[in-house]
């Protein structure tokens, strides 16, 4: 027995080196960690248990380019895989694909999050001279297991799926991360594209670098494909751990409670100084969020993309919440095509995983213009209406200053969207349009003929606000505004409301599924 145990240890020791020390050194020279180094950095020390480590070890390609297994993060079980770039460059062959499918299937069956550390160029390419040979390094195209997209889709909404792009991922290897819930990318290390610079040059004659085509900055600022941009692999692993702390293990559970030590009765005295009284003046909504939430800790999702809307995770009274907030300092907080996609996807994620929604509202409406209309703002905006209407988790809205026109629909502060509780500050305005725009539309001739046009316009604007945009009058006439509160009461009101709505029960109509306007 001792002899067999010693042989097993020796084989596993060699297999743990993947493609060998020279290839490991090559990855380190590129500034990259190996697959197992990444897993060790991500998981609790000593918690990783690997599966199928010895696949193809007898032909010198142990693991077939992928490491899979389970471990813990903050003592909570997760499944994880990491492409091993030291074996076949991390490319996908048959056994590689079967292992990838298996770990997804395990995560689904066990009801635990799945984390993918991606560093793969896609399907394995066969050298022509090896076609039809018995070379052990050859993997037939017919055997390539490209079925991970199916299991990705089955996992969607059942267990959280998180992807980190930690090298050059191309072709089919970018679609699996795109099907997951969140994507992390590292500056100067991560690249994602369907077709690379060489193909683009050969087909279109265009010169473009990998960074311009599919780097972290591009995907976080321009395409919106990625959700988080970090400076190093170590930062990436830490941010994944932080994200998971807000999420449940699966769709049946609630997110973990954490005592933050921040009193639920704390008043937010600074709020009335953060938000200007003048509705056209900008400010940073993040300051409002940080003042309200536990410990001022807010994990923003897609902070660089469609920055006119803010989405992310925080805690209120120790419980996880998803925050959706207009950002008046960017495009005046107008809603757009991109912000609608960002908002709708985040709402649907929170609804899938039992995370209550807090809507902080201060927007003049949807962004006007030909580009928005030609780009399908109607279709994109409808995604938000669909997501809000579909969501059954507690939804609490707070109107800070203004909401005009269709924005009242897009932020859920209108009857019919199932928003459970709607509050307003005494500075709130609701109307078809802003007071200035309404007066300019209805009194254009009178303003022009007035002895003092500016004074006449100011008078009419004040009259409009008094009669049509006064939250006190609104609270007197309608039932969907549940209370007008002082800014300082915001945190306490939201926490009390979350407790009130925590056991909300909502039935759904029997059907296969709806047809969201994609």
Q: Which of 332, 407, 408, 469 is catalytic?
A: 407
Q: In a 10 Å sphere around its CB, with 0-12 CB exposed, 13-18 middle and 19+ buried, how is residue 204 labelled?
A: exposed
Q: What's the CA gap between 147 and 151, in Å, rounded? A: 7
Single out the catalytic residue among 90, 365, 406, 431.
Answer: 406
- Look at strands 319-326 and 357-363 and give their pairing: parallel
SS (H, E, C) 7-65: HHHHHHHHHCCCCCHHHHHHHHHCCCCCHHHHHHHHCCCCCCEEECCCCCHHHCCHHHH
Q: What is the DSSP letter of 329?
A: T
Cα four-point dihedral sign 193, 194, 199, 204: negative
Catalytic residue among 20, 111, 157, 172: 172
Tokens of 302: 């897609």
Exposed, middle or buried by CB within 10 Å (0-12, 13-18, 19+), for 514?
Answer: exposed
Q: Is 172 a catalytic residue?
A: yes
d(Cα 364, Cα 429) in Å, to the nearest integer?
Answer: 10
How far is Cα 145 from Cα 87, in angstroms, rounded to an integer?
Answer: 17
322: left (phi over 0), alpha (psi -120 to 50) or beta: beta
Tell me how far apart the alpha carbons of residues 349 and 372 are, in angstroms, rounded to a whole number.
25
Phi-psi region of 502 (alpha: psi -120 to 50; beta: other; left: phi over 0): alpha
416 is an active site residue? no
User: Out of 171, 196, 282, 318, which one is annotated catalytic?
Assistant: 171
* Residue-wise DSSP of 468-489: HS-HHHHHHH-SS--EE--GGG
- Identify the three-state secondary structure at position 268: coil
| Structure-token match 């897609």, residue found | 302
Cα(346)–Cα(65) distance, rounded to whole angstroms? 33
Is 295 a residue of the active site? no
381 is catalytic: no
Which sign does the torsion angle of CA 475, 478, 482, 487 carry? negative
- Active-site positions read 171-172, 406-407
């Amino acid at each position: 027995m001792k002899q067999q145990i010693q042989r097993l240890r020796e084989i596993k020791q060699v297999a743990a080196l993947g493609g060998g020390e020279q290839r490991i050194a090559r990855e380190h020279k590129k500034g990259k960690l190996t697959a197992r180094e990444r897993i060790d950095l991500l998981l609790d020390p000593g918690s990783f248990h690997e599966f199928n480590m010895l696949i193809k070890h007898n032909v010198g390609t142990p693991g077939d380019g992928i490491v899979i297994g389970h471990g813990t993060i903050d003592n909570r079980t997760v499944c994880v895989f990491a492409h091993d770039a030291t074996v076949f460059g991390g490319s996908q062959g048959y056994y590689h694909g079967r292992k990838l499918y298996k770990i997804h299937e395990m995560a689904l069956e066990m009801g635990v999050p799945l984390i993918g550390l991606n560093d793969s160029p896609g399907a394995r390419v066969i050298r022509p001279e090896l076609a039809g040979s018995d070379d052990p390094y050859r993997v037939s195209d017919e055997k390539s297991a490209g079925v991970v997209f199916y299991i990705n889709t089955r996992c969607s909404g059942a267990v959280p799926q998180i992807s980190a792009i930690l090298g050059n991922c191309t072709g089919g290897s970018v679609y699996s991360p795109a099907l997951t819930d969140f994507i992390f990318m590292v500056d100067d290390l991560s690249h994602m594209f369907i077709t690379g610079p060489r193909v683009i040059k050969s087909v279109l004659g265009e010169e473009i670098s990998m960074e311009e085509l599919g780097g972290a900055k591009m995907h976080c600022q321009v395409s919106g494909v990625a959700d988080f941009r970090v400076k190093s692999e170590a930062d990436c692993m830490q941010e994944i751990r932080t994200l998971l702390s807000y999420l449940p293990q699966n769709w049946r559970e609630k997110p973990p409670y954490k005592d933050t030590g921040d009193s639920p009765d704390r008043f937010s005295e600074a709020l009335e100084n953060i938000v200007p009284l003048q509705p056209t003046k900008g400010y940073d909504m993040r300051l409002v969020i940080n003042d309200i939430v536990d410990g001022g800790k807010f994990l923003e999702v897609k902070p660089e993309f469609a920055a006119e809307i803010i989405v992310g995770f925080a805690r209120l009274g120790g419980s996880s919440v998803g925050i959706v907030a207009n950002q008046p300092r960017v495009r005046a907080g107008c809603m757009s095509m991109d912000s609608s996609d960002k908002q709708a996807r985040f709402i649907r994620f929170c609804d899938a995983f039992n995370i209550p929604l807090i809507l902080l509202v201060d927007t003049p409406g949807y962004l006007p213009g030909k580009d928005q209309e030609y780009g399908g703002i109607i279709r994109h905006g409808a995604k938000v209406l669909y997501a809000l209407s579909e969501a059954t988790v507690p939804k609490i809205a707070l109107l800070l200053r203004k909401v005009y026109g269709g924005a009242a629909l897009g932020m859920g502060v209108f009857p019919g969207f199932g928003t459970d509780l709607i509050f307003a500050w005494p500075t709130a305005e609701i109307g078809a349009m802003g007071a200035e725009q309404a007066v300019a539309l209805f009194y254009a001739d009178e303003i022009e003929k007035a002895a003092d046009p500016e004074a006449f316009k100011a008078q009419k604007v004040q009259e409009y606000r008094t009669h049509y945009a006064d939250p006190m009058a609104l609270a007197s006439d309608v039932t969907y505004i549940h209370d007008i509160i002082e800014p300082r009461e915001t945190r306490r009101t939201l926490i009390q409301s979350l407790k009130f709505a925590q056991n909300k029960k909502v039935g759904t109509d029997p059907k296969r599924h709806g047809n969201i306007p994609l």
